[in-house]
C-alpha cells in the first residue's frame, strides 16, 4: 500500500479519508545491517541508536515506553510554567495546578522551613504512651500518605466485582521488597548499607547526634526485617486466590487482639463488617511484634517512616539524603531538575486536573475514534485465534469469547473528570498542599467502601505513557500519553501502527487470559470458567513460558525471573501474534511492496522492536529484574519473536542463528 498522497491508517480507520496537506510517511532508518536479524533482532533494530544514545544524568534510562514519560514531563512542565505565571480564577483547575507547582518551585521558602512542617508529627510520636495510641496515630497518618504499618486501599471485591471492599495488604518495609533484607550478594549489601545511612542521616537532620542516629537507623531496620519475614515474595503475590481472604471484622478482632481491628477501622474511618486481608501472615506478625517490640523502639520506627515519607516535601538536605540512597539503588547520577520533580508531583497529586489542560492542548478527539477501530480489529483477530486453538475444547472457547465480547475499552482520557474542589492549594505552602491533596485522595477512596464500583474511573493519569488491563472490571485502557510515536502515528503505514500500538493492544487484551487474568470471569469475578482439562493444558503452556524466560540472561549471571514475569511474557507472545493477524487483514498486510527496502512484514516486526527501544543503567536494571513483572526490553522483543514463525519467514531465520528454535519448540499459548 502506498503512503504518500492518501490518508494514513488511522484516517482510513476513522472512516473518512480526507486529503491532508504536507502528507509524509515514517521512514525506517538506523537498522544495523552488519548484524544478522536472526541472532539478536532487538540489537539489529536498536543497536545503532543504543550505541549513540546517552542517558541523561538525572534519569535511570532513556528510550521508549516508560522512559517516554521523561520527555512527556517536559511537555507537562511547559504547561505548568505557563499556568504558574498566569492569573487564573480562584478555585479553577488552572489555579490549583499552577499554584501547586509554584509552591514546589519556591525552594527558598521550603528551605527556610527546614523540617518544621513535620515537627508536630514527631512530637505526637514522642507523646505515645501505649499500643492503642500508637495505632491511632498510624491510622491518622495513613490519611495524609504516611502508610507505615498498615497497607490500606479500596477496590472491587474479587468475588463480587460490582462492589468495593476495604483491602489490607503487606507493608512496613523501606527496601524495594522482602528479599533485599535477606540476600547477601555485594550489590544487595551495598543497597542495605545505603538505606541504613539514609535513615541515619534523616535522624541527624532533625537534631539527633550521629551515634544515636545510627542506633536509631539500626533499630528501625531491625523491625522492618522482622516484618519482612512475613512478607510474600513478588512471585507469591501473583497468586490471585491466595490474595483473597475476606474476613469478618469480628473474626479478625479475635485473631489479632493487640492490633485491635475494630478500633483500627474506626480510626481509619472504615465502616464495614468484613474486609479483605491480602496477606494475613503479615498482620499475624504485626500483631505479635506489637507485643514483643518495646514502645520506644516503635517510636523510632515510626519516626523513621515519617521522615522517609515526607523527606522530599522538606528542605534540600532531606531531599539530598533521599537521593543519595536512590543513587545507589538505581544508578541515577544526579537529581532530576526541580521543574521535572514538581511536574511529577502535580501529576501525582492533581493528575486529572493537569490532564484536562494537557488533553485540550495535545490530544485530538479524532485519535480516540481511530484507536477504537484499531481495538475492535485486534479483538476480532483474537477471537479468530481462540477459534483455531488446538488445545482448548469448544465449551471453554465459547466462555473465552464471551469474556472477550464483554470487554470495556477506555481510550485517551476519562469521560468524567475527578473533582478537586476540596483540595486547598496555596502558593506559599508546598508541604500543606501535598497533604491536602493526599487527604483528598484518601477520603475519595474511603467513600467507596461498600459502594458500587464506578466503571468510569481510571487508575492512571491520561498523560502517562502506559497501558493497562484491569481484570475486576474486564477492561483495557490506553491513555493519551501512549498514543504517540513510536506507538501510534497518523503518518505511519499500517505495518508500523499494527506493530506498534497494535502489539500493545494485543498485549493488554491477552492480560485477561494470562495466568492471573484467566482466573477472572467475564464480569470480573474470580470464578472458574474453564474446563478442568483445558486449564491443565493452559498451565502447562505457561510453565513452558516460565522455563524459557528463565534461560534469558540480563546482566552477567542475572537472569529473567520467569515465574515473576510469566503474565507479561504471555501477553507479549500473544500480543505480537494478534497484532500480526490483524495487520494481515489490511491492504498493506496482504501486499509485498517494499518501503525503505523492507517488506510489509519486515516493517511490522521492526516496529515491534522499536516500541521497546530502551537503554538503562545497570543498577536500575538489576532492581528492575528483582521487582518488575515485565521482562527487560530486549527480551520483550527477542522472546516473542523467536517463538513466532512468521518472523522466521520475514527475515529468513535459519538453523544456527541464535534466535532459532525448531518449530516444535516455539511456544504458542493463545
**Per residue in 247-272, pLDDT tens?**
999 999 999 999 999 999 999 999 99
Residue 11 has pLDDT above 90, yes or no: no
C-alpha torsion sign, points 144, 145, 150, 152: positive
Query: What is the pLDDT averaged over residues 469-495?
Result: 94
Task: Report the mean per-residue pLDDT for the chain.
Answer: 94
Domain containing 487 equals 9-63+363-414+458-665
38, 165: one domain: no
30, 139: one domain: no
Residue 58 has pLDDT above 50, yes or no: yes
Provide the edge-to-edge strand list for the sheet that holds 475-479: 408-412, 475-479, 468-470
Q: Rounded distance, CA 53 to CA 196, Å?
A: 34
Residue 505 main-chain phi, psi, to 5 deg:
-60, -50
Number of Cβ within 10 Å of residue 117's Cβ equals 19
260 in any annotated domain? yes
515, 371: one domain: yes
484 in any annotated domain? yes
620 in any annotated domain? yes
pLDDT bin (cut points 50, 70, 90) of residue 14 is very low
156, 277: one domain: yes
Q: Rounded distance, CA 498 to CA 608, Å?
A: 9
CA-based radius of gyration for the chain: 26
Helices 280-292 and 131-142 sit at what angle, rounded to 10 degrees?
140
pLDDT bin (cut points 50, 70, 90) of residue 646 is very high
Take residue 356 and report the three cell numbers written for it: 484536562
pLDDT bin (cut points 50, 70, 90) of residue 16 is very low
402, 272: one domain: no
Per residue in 539-578, pLDDT tens?
999 999 999 999 999 998 899 999 999 999 999 999 999 9
DSSP conformational letter for 232: P
151, 276: one domain: yes
Per residue in 453-479, pLDDT tens?
999 999 999 999 999 999 999 999 999
Residue 534 has pLDDT above 90, yes or no: yes
Query: What is the pLDDT averaged over residues 648-669?
Result: 97
Q: Rounded distance, CA 290 to CA 281, Å?
A: 14
Kindly state the helix (H) or strand (E) to which residue 506 belongs, with its residue range: helix 503-510
DSSP secondary structure letters along 355-386: HHHHHHHH--HHHHHHHHHHHHHHHHHHHHHH
517 in any annotated domain? yes
Query: What is the pLDDT averaged over residues 174-189?
Result: 97
Q: Rounded distance, CA 509 to CA 356, Å?
A: 27
Q: Rounded distance, CA 252 to CA 287, Å?
A: 11
Please report, for the chain, how many H helices and E strands are present, in that order: 27, 11
620, 479: one domain: yes
Residue 595's alpha-carbon distances to 220, 457, 601, 642, 649, in angstroms, are: 61, 42, 11, 24, 18
For residue 172, the domain's CATH number is 1.10.1380.10
Task: Return the pLDDT at 366.
Answer: 81
464, 394: one domain: yes
288, 394: one domain: no
122 in any annotated domain? no
158, 232: one domain: yes
Residue 146 has pLDDT above 60, yes or no: yes
522, 622: one domain: yes
91 in any annotated domain? no
670 in any annotated domain? no
25 in any annotated domain? yes
Spatial neighbors of 87 by CB under 8 A, at least 6 apart, are none
Is residue 404 within 8 Å of residue 383, measured between CB atoms? yes
517, 606: one domain: yes
Of 314, 340, 371, the last residue of a domain is 314
Residue 582's alpha-carbon distances to 420, 494, 501, 509, 592, in angstroms, are: 41, 10, 12, 13, 16
Query: What is the pLDDT averaged over residues 129-143?
Result: 98
Residue 17 has pLDDT above 70, yes or no: no
Closest CA to 371 of 219, 490, 538, 528: 490
Per residue in 309-333, pLDDT tens?
999 999 999 999 999 999 999 999 9
Number of Cβ within 10 Å of residue 222's Cβ equals 14
For residue 659, the domain's CATH number is 3.40.390.10
Per residue in 276-295, pLDDT tens?
999 999 999 999 999 999 99
Task: Return the pLDDT at 6.
Answer: 22
Query: What is the pLDDT averaged over residues 1-9?
Result: 28
pLDDT bin (cut points 50, 70, 90) of residue 369 is confident
Domain count across the chain = 2
Residue 20 has pLDDT above 60, yes or no: no
Amino acid at each position: 500500500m502506498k503512503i504518500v498522497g492518501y490518508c494514513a491508517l488511522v484516517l482510513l480507520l476513522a472512516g473518512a479519508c480526507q486529503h491532508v496537506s504536507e502528507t509524509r510517511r515514517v521512514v525506517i532508518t538506523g537498522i544495523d545491517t552488519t548484524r544478522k536479524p536472526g541472532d539478536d533482532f532487538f540489537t539489529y533494530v536498536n543497536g545503532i541508536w543504543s550505541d549513540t544514545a546517552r542517558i541523561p544524568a538525572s534519569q535511570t534510562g532513556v528510550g521508549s515506553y516508560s522512559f517516554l514519560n521523561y520527555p512527556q514531563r517536559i511537555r507537562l512542565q511547559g504547561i505548568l510554567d505557563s499556568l504558574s505565571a498566569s492569573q487564573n480564577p480562584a478555585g479553577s483547575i488552572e489555579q490549583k495546578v499552577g499554584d501547586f507547582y509554584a509552591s514546589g518551585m519556591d525552594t527558598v521558602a521550603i528551605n527556610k522551613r527546614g523540617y518544621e512542617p513535620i515537627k508536630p508529627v514527631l512530637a505526637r510520636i514522642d507523646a505515645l504512651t501505649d499500643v492503642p495510641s500508637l495505632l491511632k496515630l498510624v491510622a491518622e497518618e495513613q490519611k495524609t500518605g504516611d502508610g507505615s504499618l498498615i497497607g490500606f486501599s479500596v477496590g472491587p471485591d474479587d468475588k463480587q466485582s460490582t462492589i468495593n471492599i476495604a483491602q489490607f495488604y503487606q507493608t512496613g518495609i523501606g527496601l524495594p521488597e522482602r528479599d533485599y533484607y535477606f540476600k547477601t550478594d555485594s550489590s544487595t549489601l551495598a543497597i542495605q548499607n545505603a538505606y541504613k545511612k539514609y535513615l541515619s542521616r534523616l535522624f541527624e537532620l532533625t537534631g539527633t547526634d550521629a551515634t544515636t542516629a545510627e542506633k536509631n537507623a539500626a533499630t528501625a531496620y531491625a523491625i522492618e526485617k522482622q516484618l519482612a519475614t512475613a512478607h510474600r515474595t513478588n512471585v507469591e503475590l501473583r497468586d490471585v486466590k491466595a490474595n483473597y481472604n475476606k474476613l469478618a471484622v469480628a473474626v479478625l478482632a479475635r485473631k489479632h487482639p493487640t492490633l485491635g481491628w475494630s478500633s483500627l477501622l474506626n480510626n481509619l474511618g472504615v465502616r464495614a463488617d468484613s474486609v479483605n486481608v491480602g496477606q494475613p501472615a503479615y498482620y499475624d506478625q504485626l500483631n505479635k511484634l506489637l507485643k514483643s517490640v518495646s514502645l520506644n523502639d516503635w517510636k523510632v520506627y515510626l519516626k523513621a517512616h515519617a521522615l522517609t515519607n515526607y523527606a522530599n516535601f522538606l528542605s534540600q538536605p532531606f531531599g539530598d539524603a533521599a537521593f543519595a540512597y536512590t543513587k545507589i539503588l538505581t544508578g541515577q547520577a544526579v537529581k532530576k531538575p526541580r521543574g521535572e520533580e514538581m511536574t511529577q508531583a502535580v501529576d501525582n497529586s492533581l493528575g486529572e486536573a493537569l490532564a484536562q489542560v494537557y488533553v485540550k492542548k495535545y490530544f485530538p478527539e479524532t485519535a480516540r475514534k481511530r484507536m477504537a477501530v484499531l481495538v475492535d480489529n485486534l479483538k476480532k483477530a483474537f477471537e479468530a485465534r481462540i477459534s483455531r486453538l488446538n488445545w482448548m475444547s469448544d465449551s471453554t472457547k465459547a466462555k473465552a469469547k464471551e469474556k472477550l465480547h464483554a470487554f470495556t475499552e477506555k481510550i485517551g482520557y476519562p469521560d468524567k473528570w475527578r473533582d478537586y474542589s476540596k483540595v486547598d492549594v496555596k502558593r506559599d505552602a508546598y508541604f500543606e498542599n501535598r497533604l491536602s491533596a493526599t487527604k483528598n485522595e484518601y477520603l475519595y477512596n474511603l467513600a467507596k467502601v461498600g459502594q458500587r464500583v464506578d466503571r468510569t474511573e481510571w487508575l492512571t493519569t491520561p498523560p502517562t505513557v502506559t497501558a493497562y488491563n484491569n481484570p475486576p472490571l474486564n477492561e483495557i485502557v490506553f491513555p493519551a500519553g501512549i498514543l504517540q510515536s513510536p506507538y501510534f502515528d497518523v503518518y505511519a503505514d499500517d505495518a508500523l501502527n499494527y506493530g506498534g500500538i497494535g502489539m500493545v493492544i494485543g498485549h493488554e487484551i491477552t492480560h485477561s487470559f494470562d495466568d492471573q487474568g484467566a482466573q477472572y470471569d467475564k464480569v470480573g469475578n474470580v470464578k472458574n470458567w474453564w474446563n478442568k482439562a483445558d486449564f491443565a493444558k493452559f498451565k502447562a503452556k505457561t510453565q513452558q513460558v516460565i522455563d524459557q524466560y528463565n534461560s534469558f540472561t540480563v546482566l552477567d549471571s542475572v537472569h529473567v525471573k520467569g515465574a515473576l514475569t510469566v503474565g507479561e511474557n504471555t501477553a507479549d507472545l500473544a500480543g505480537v501474534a494478534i497484532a500480526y493477524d490483524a495487520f494481515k487483514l489490511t491492504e498493506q498486510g496482504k501486499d509485498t511492496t517494499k518501503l525503505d527496502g523492507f517488506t510489509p512484514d519486515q516493517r511490522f516486526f521492526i516496529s515491534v522492536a522499536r516500541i521497546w527501544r530502551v537503554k538503562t543503567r545497570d543498577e536500575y536494571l538489576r532492581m528492575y529484574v528483582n521487582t518488575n513483572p515485565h521482562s527487560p526490553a530486549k527480551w520483550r522483543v527477542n522472546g516473542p519473536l523467536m517463538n513466532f514463525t512468521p518472523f522466521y519467514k520475514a527475515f529468513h531465520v535459519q538453523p544456527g542463528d541464535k534466535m532459532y528454535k525448531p518449530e516444535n519448540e516455539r511456544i504458542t499459548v493463545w
